Structure 1
Amino acid sequence: MADYINKNILSQAYIHIESEVADDELQLEEFKAEIEKFARSRVDFFLSPDAPIEVTYEEGSLIARITVLGTIGLLLQGISNYKNFREGIQLIYSDAKRVTDYVISESVFMAGSRQQNVIRLEARVGVIGSVQKLINQLESIKNGANGRKLASDLVTKLIDSQKELDKLIDNLATDEDVALVKKGLLEIVDEYPETPEAPKNKFNDDAAVNSYRNQKKKLRIRLSA
């Protein structure tokens, strides 16, 4: 059993298919061994050879979860040519999604299941997906503050991003990852203008601007803590 305490779920392939493999113990054991070997090779290449994987099965129809565990810091260390935190996370997100897609496709192929035999397939991107989602939200606020959104709209988005941040921090397994993510996200918030620019032919009232500044300050304090 993998150690979930000090590792995040980086990605997970969920497979639920009807297959004759599930009814033959020998075929099922061969399937398990082959899919674990396949997953290991793809994780080694796209993510990290130091990222453990866990493969679990349920009885009945073929239900499997292939989970990649690890830390964000570990994966970032394996990327040598990224400009900043944002670019590094984008690369990891793309690779984590690619791994789960490959594992799902290979599992269906190995099990000999056609589309009509597929009950449910999911490519889950774990905490990497959560970090990428928050980066996108914060970047959207920055763009909005540069003449694309009213200050009142930005206030709502800032409040929502703080809620997403709290959920993300709660789901990170190590203090090192928490510090790393906060530092990277703070770099985005520090690019926000102190006074948001209103869209063309529109006006930001003083109350909305002050609320924007207050919510920006709250978010910055949360990321600096």
Structure 2
Amino acid sequence: MKVVVVGTNHAGISAANTLLDSDQDVEVTLLDRNSNLSYLGCGTALWVGRQIDGYEGLFYTNAADFEAKGAKISLETEVKEIDFENKVVYAETRSGEKLEENYDKLVLATGSLPIAPKLPGNDLEGLHFLKLFQEGQEVDKALAADDANVVCVIGAGYIGVEIAEAAARRGKEVHIFDAEEHSLMNYYDVDFAVAMDENLRANGIHTHFGELAEEYLGENGKVTGLKTTNGE
């Protein structure tokens, strides 16, 4: 049996390991458009906030580990099309090489993307989205700039709250925004969310909840402010 796994983060890694460690006669091929695999994104705020020395320990496996188990792995390879009827994955490497992978079973483990509302000013320099390792590197670099004194975080879910804390640990003035009335509303009951709001404020983070972002403000091509339903 041949299995193609699209995506090499937690779900894809887990599926591939389960198959390769089983007693089945299985051939596993892993594809991912990223240049790395198995990144513990939940640790991004820890190294950006300098609570750990670096990011190296946030990668818990590598391509060589899977190749040693007999898997075929192709990174920096983007899936362009899937023919579900004939069970073929069509992909392209960064160098332009076309790949066709037949399969008996297909695992789609493509993960999620940060919501990126098309607000006016969304092409300004200084806006960062946070999910991938490389995006964490960009945020870390941005916080190191001498003129980066005030940081606005849009979204008060886990990633938003954690990166707000990380920026505060780096000595920044931090403002966090969310359309919900409290932080972490998708995860906590209201009593817990209120306690988290108070914790954020007690640690110097300015909270703007029940407040919608409307426009990114800028000068000379660089973001300088945020317009919301409550002001600027």
**Structure with the higher helix share, 1 or 2:** 1
The TM-score normalised by the length of structure 2 is: 0.30
Give the alignment's TM-score, normalised by structure 1. 0.31
Structure with more relative contact order (C-alpha pairs < 8 Å, separation 6 or more): 1
Higher strand share: 2
